[in-house]
Structure formats: structure tokens, C-alpha cells
């Protein structure tokens, strides 16, 4: 399933036998995700799963974690 709007989209992906998914090119381009980038996987049993680039996560959580990623 593919559905596009200017700043959002919905695309289905399949989980492979190793539990892996491929991030669609539309998402990689929109969020500037490149080979070697680290993503945070966040989950909530009621809200689902989210992927966020680690640098964006640490910016958002800066007040909580400070500037040290290794905390």
C-alpha cells in the first residue's frame, strides 16, 4: 500500500525471516537517512513502534540526557 501527501506517506513493509525491514526510499529521502546512520527504535504497547535518527532523539531528549550520548 502506498499513499502520499506532500509531507507524509504510508507504505507497507514486510518483516523478513531475520526480523528485518527495508526502510522505503521515500522515507530515507524525507528523513535524510543514509547508510551507516543509527536509528532509535521506540515502542509503546498502545501506540506502536517509531524509528528516529539517534541525533534527533538526543536533541529532543537533551534536557533529560544532557549532551552525552553515552549516558
Element (H, E) at 10: strand 8-11
Per-residue pLDDT of 13-66, as tens digits, reads: 999 999 999 999 989 999 999 999 999 999 999 999 999 999 888 888 886 655
pLDDT of residue 65: 56
Residue 49's closest CA among 25, 17, 13?
13
**Residue 49 and residue 21: Cα distance in Å, rounded?**
13
pLDDT of residue 34: 96
Q: Would you say 49 and 42 are in contact if contact means Cβ atoms under 8 Å apart? A: yes
Per-residue pLDDT of 54-64, as tens digits, reads: 988 888 888 66
pLDDT of 5 over the 80 cut = no
**Residue 52 and residue 70: Cα distance in Å, rounded?**
17
Give Cα 48 to chain centroid, integer Å. 12
For the question of whether the overall pTM of this predicted structure is more than 0.85, the answer is no
Amino acid at each position: 500500500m502506498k499513499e502520499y501527501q506532500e509531507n507524509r506517506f504510508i507504505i507497507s513493509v514486510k518483516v523478513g525471516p531475520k526480523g528485518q525491514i527495508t526502510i522505503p526510499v521515500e522515507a530515507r529521502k524525507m528523513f535524510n537517512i543514509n547508510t551507516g546512520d543509527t536509528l532509535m527504535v521506540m515502542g509503546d504497547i498502545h501506540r506502536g513502534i517509531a524509528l528516529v535518527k539517534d541525533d534527533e532523539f538526543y536533541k529532543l531528549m537533551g534536557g533529560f540526557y544532557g549532551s552525552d550520548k553515552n549516558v
